[in-house]
Structure 1
């Protein structure tokens, strides 16, 4: 059965049942149909965050698939089956990957969050609200310039870009305001995908409505005549933007196929943005559950590092353990095997690709100080020889690991992993950040590139160096950094898989996300607006005469 067929065959509980199981009253949530709800932020008031926080991350992703969200969902269900009050805190999907190539973000097989078709499409409208708030600011900036309002924004200095929640490479670079004076002032601009926008990051990192408005007001949109920054607050846009986001900021409550509660809220990309679900959702889960399973996008070098150094730092969270997802198929690809040959047993290739897993383990245990459990996510083509080799290899290293088959078996396929996680939660965590906020911006970037990626050298373009110096001079030097890098490699070259022994990282551009509270360093050829593949998933998605969605994974 396909994912959508499995989801449609499920019998979800009314969302009020899920909410009451968390101890919520009807006044604390608002339903969106029968199976979705938004839980009001006020629910957090006076509640201690007593839950244990488990981060699910992965080795560097490959086209072979790793199944991080599926493992997260299955782990939550398995913990529930063992009698633990588990709550999931996951990210919302972006329509770009749904209609592109990567797929959705609701899990798969018998480890899914439902209603999966709603979640993977419009859900509760959060991403549309973020898009509207973002583009309202762009419209107000352009109008501010055309009308000659104070404070004056110098034409040609606008850095804030429009966004759209769809993969559309044609919009990466555009010229606006053409057609004469009545249509505005001509300017070069571009679109980012909504998930990579600063407004998305602001929503995900805001603690409450007041913090949301403060962060929105700090967004830098351009420069004045003296070279100083002009912000959204300076042109009076923050209030109206906050109004558009007033419902979106409340976390969404849904359930898994096995009725484990899930707060699914916010969806930044981890290769471009900080890649974690909202602070509000994670805090709510920690207040209402005993063990919270959350995830960070792509590999541990991206999502996990940003989860620790940006989200946990800003929100005052301390993770208790990490789960590192790995597959035999992905290790074979990191060892040089092409995708068509992955179903053939190849332990030597896994041996070569194991360095990727080993480096992620070193980072999580050595640099960040967390107990780590490796989830060996089983695929149908895996052989006993391959699974046995990987299990024995990890055991010889003293690394707790468990085979995971939640895609095929649901919670039953995750019991061994859940027991290992509960054991890890009994161990002390010695969590620490990768760098100090007092370190210079360039040094923070070098620390992550050298320690977490393993780069031997970091090269900054002249433009990037000038921007770093300027941001430091203007008082932004104490912000954390968010490195935008390919997800497929520790390097900034997506073709260099495994863990290369010697490589350089090149920072070509630096951007300030003052509202989100971090500085973005773009490396390699990273694009903030993805494009569609030769055969996008949209070609397979349709609807029958009864309105039933088909072809959605």
Structure 2
């Protein structure tokens, strides 16, 4: 049975019941229909134990890892063994939904529902972000058209327009054509909405006041004498903030097993910071004894960014880290072709397990206990499963088999018990670098300690930017690495656990509102393209409104 068919067979409990289960009264939510709600701000505080569990993974492959599925299954399993639990996830972007990856609501019997709504327009957060982003873009160009009092150099505007769909044709465009009444011609471009700074700001803001402060700090470009221009200089911070007043509030939904889930914010982890909103995570911590959250892509991207960017904003480090791996993906990291993954190959599995081992070591550097979740597939053999368990045992880490796709929470109770045990252990979180370190030192720390690389090479442009950041006083910010998700290196074809490689930083993008500096590496793109066979080709809707082909 397909994921959407499983989801459509379950009737969501009224969202008021889910809210009550989470400890929220009817007055503390605003309903969006019968199965969705937004939580009012400020967040209530009702939990006392407050355990935070981070789910991350190995480097993704076309074989699939199922990180969201494990996150949801683990949340249901914790509920099943009697723990008060909340799940916190990112909102899906229409880019992957209509493209290649599909939705982001889990799979099988570990899903959040209503999956069609969540994967499509949900509560309108993505549209609000897109509108706010493009309103700011329009105001910038209008300022230039109306006399350019700030002296903005249209060649150095860094604020791009956005669209929440993969559209390669919009990566680089020319606007303002059509004569004097149609604006000032200049080169522009689009990012996908989930890569925008406003998305990052929304996910890191504590309240409306913080949201407005961060928006005012956004650097939209530079003057002719290369001085930064901010939203505060344009005096439009209030207008942009009000467009996001409802989008800032976390969304409450449920799993198939009716475990409460906050689904809010959706930055990509390969080109942004890859974590759901701080408010969603804090809502879980304020309401439940255990909050299970995930970070996008592998531990080298979302996992590292959660630790170095999100932890200071959330105000709490994870009490345990779950690294998701599949036998299929590990064999692919060991050199097995996609078509041959159904055949037992312990030797290739052991070779590919080095990728898992690298991520275990990377997460352990933060001083937090780690467990490996083997997300079970039907073709996995006993010998292959045991090989992964033995490999992890040699590293001093337990690996637990979880059948969350086929059994939901019932298939992850063993994992849940290990997570509870680890979360109760004393640990001392250690950040990867100090805020006072130079940007070069921070990048080097991520590359050498998390990726396993040997060197960092900067383009001439990146070197010039580094000097200007020191002059502007921006060098105390954390770094957000934009890198391919498929490899520990910046070469997507270099699988497994490569060593001795050099990461090439081609450009930096200061995102002062978000509070970090983005380092663009390799050929990573901030506006993806659609594949040859986009998922949209397989989608349909019947006359009575039943959706098919969504996954």
Q: TM-score range by the shorter chain?
A: over 0.9
**CA distance in 1: counterparts of 2:141 and 2:468, whole angstroms:** 25
Number of residue pairs aligned between Structure 1 and Structure 2 = 551
Give the structure 2 partner of residue 30 of structure 1: 30
Give the structure 2 partner of residue 532 of structure 1: 530
Kindly state the Cα deviation for residue 155 of structure 1 after the two structures are TM-superposed: 2.1
Kindly state the Cα deviation for residue 545 of structure 1 after the two structures are TM-superposed: 1.4
Q: Could you tell me whether the CA contact under 8 Å between 1:401 and 1:420 is conserved in 2? A: no
Q: Could you tell me whether the CA contact under 8 Å between 1:336 and 1:353 is conserved in 2? A: yes
Give the structure 2 partner of residue 516 of structure 1: 514
Residue 423 of structure 1 pairs with residue 421 of structure 2: yes
Residue 260 of structure 1 pairs with residue 223 of structure 2: no
Q: Could you tell me whether the CA contact under 8 Å between 1:89 and 1:285 is conserved in 2? A: yes
**CA distance in 2: counterparts of 1:351 and 1:407, whole angstroms:** 24
State which drifts further: 294-303 or 447-456.
447-456
SS of 1:255 mapped into structure 2: strand
State which drifts further: 148-157 or 82-91.
148-157
| 1:221-249 deviation line (CA, Å, top 9, x unaligned) | 11123321111111122111111101000
SS of 1:403 mapped into structure 2: strand
Q: Any runs of at least 4 consecutive aligned residues in structure 1 with deviations exceeding 3 A, and if so which?
A: 46-50
Q: Give the TM-score taking structure 1 as reference length.
A: 0.98
Matches within 5 A, 1:296-445: 296-365=295-364, 367-445=365-443
Give the structure 1 partner of residue 9 of structure 2: 9
Give the structure 1 partner of residue 487 of structure 2: 489
Kindly state the Cα deviation for residue 51 of structure 1 after the two structures are TM-superposed: 1.1
Kindly state the Cα deviation for residue 351 of structure 1 after the two structures are TM-superposed: 1.1
SS of 1:402 mapped into structure 2: strand
Q: Could you tell me whether the CA contact under 8 Å between 1:41 and 1:280 is conserved in 2? A: no
Kindly state the Cα deviation for residue 316 of structure 1 after the two structures are TM-superposed: 2.1
State which drifts further: 30-39 or 221-230.
221-230
Kindly state the Cα deviation for residue 156 of structure 1 after the two structures are TM-superposed: 1.2
SS of 2:456 mapped into structure 1: strand
SS of 1:304 mapped into structure 2: helix
Give the structure 1 partner of residue 283 of structure 2: 284
**RMSD between superposed Cα atoms in Å:** 1.0
Give the structure 1 partner of residue 144 of structure 2: 145
**CA distance in 1: counterparts of 2:466 and 2:120, whole angstroms:** 39
State which drifts further: 48-57 or 327-336.
48-57
Give the structure 2 partner of residue 464 of structure 1: 462
**CA distance in 1: counterparts of 2:259 and 2:313, whole angstroms:** 28
Structure 2: tracts of 5 or more residues without a match: none
| 1:79-122 deviation line (CA, Å, top 9, x unaligned) | 00000001001100000000000111100000000000000000
**CA distance in 1: counterparts of 2:300 and 2:95, whole angstroms:** 23
Kindly state the Cα deviation for residue 393 of structure 1 after the two structures are TM-superposed: 2.3
**CA distance in 2: counterparts of 1:49 and 1:538, whole angstroms:** 45
**CA distance in 1: counterparts of 2:78 and 2:315, whole angstroms:** 25
SS of 1:154 mapped into structure 2: strand
Give the structure 2 partner of residue 118 of structure 1: 117
Q: Could you tell me whether the CA contact under 8 Å between 2:38 and 2:252 is conserved in 1? A: yes
Give the structure 1 partner of residue 203 of structure 2: 204
**CA distance in 2: counterparts of 1:47 and 1:237, whole angstroms:** 37
SS of 1:317 mapped into structure 2: coil
State which drifts further: 46-55 or 100-109.
46-55
Q: Could you tell me whether the CA contact under 8 Å between 1:321 and 1:429 is conserved in 2? A: no
Kindly state the Cα deviation for residue 318 of structure 1 after the two structures are TM-superposed: 1.6
Q: Could you tell me whether the CA contact under 8 Å between 2:43 and 2:286 is conserved in 1? A: no
Give the structure 1 partner of residue 20 of structure 2: 20
SS of 2:154 mapped into structure 1: coil
SS of 1:444 mapped into structure 2: helix
| 1:14-66 deviation line (CA, Å, top 9, x unaligned) | 0000101122111110000000000012233x657741000000011111000
**CA distance in 1: counterparts of 2:91 and 2:229, whole angstroms:** 31
Q: Could you tell me whether the CA contact under 8 Å between 2:486 and 2:495 is conserved in 1? A: yes
Q: Could you tell me whether the CA contact under 8 Å between 1:49 and 1:283 is conserved in 2? A: no
Kindly state the Cα deviation for residue 179 of structure 1 after the two structures are TM-superposed: 1.2
SS of 1:155 mapped into structure 2: strand
State which drifts further: 340-349 or 152-161.
152-161
SS of 2:42 mapped into structure 1: helix
Q: Could you tell me whether the CA contact under 8 Å between 1:334 and 1:353 is conserved in 2? A: yes
**CA distance in 2: counterparts of 1:424 and 1:363, whole angstroms:** 17
**CA distance in 1: counterparts of 2:528 and 2:327, whole angstroms:** 28
Sort the Cα spacing of 1:48 and 1:226 in 2 relative to 1 into closer, same or farther, 3 A. Answer: farther
Give the structure 2 partner of residue 58 of structure 1: 57
Residue 83 of structure 1 pairs with residue 87 of structure 2: no
Q: Could you tell me whether the CA contact under 8 Å between 1:77 and 1:260 is conserved in 2? A: yes
Q: Give the TM-score taking structure 2 as reference length.
A: 0.99
**CA distance in 2: counterparts of 1:237 and 1:449, whole angstroms:** 38
**CA distance in 1: counterparts of 2:182 and 2:503, whole angstroms:** 42
Give the structure 1 partner of residue 226 of structure 2: 227
SS of 1:324 mapped into structure 2: strand
Structure 1: tracts of 5 or more residues without a match: none
**CA distance in 2: counterparts of 1:549 and 1:47, whole angstroms:** 38
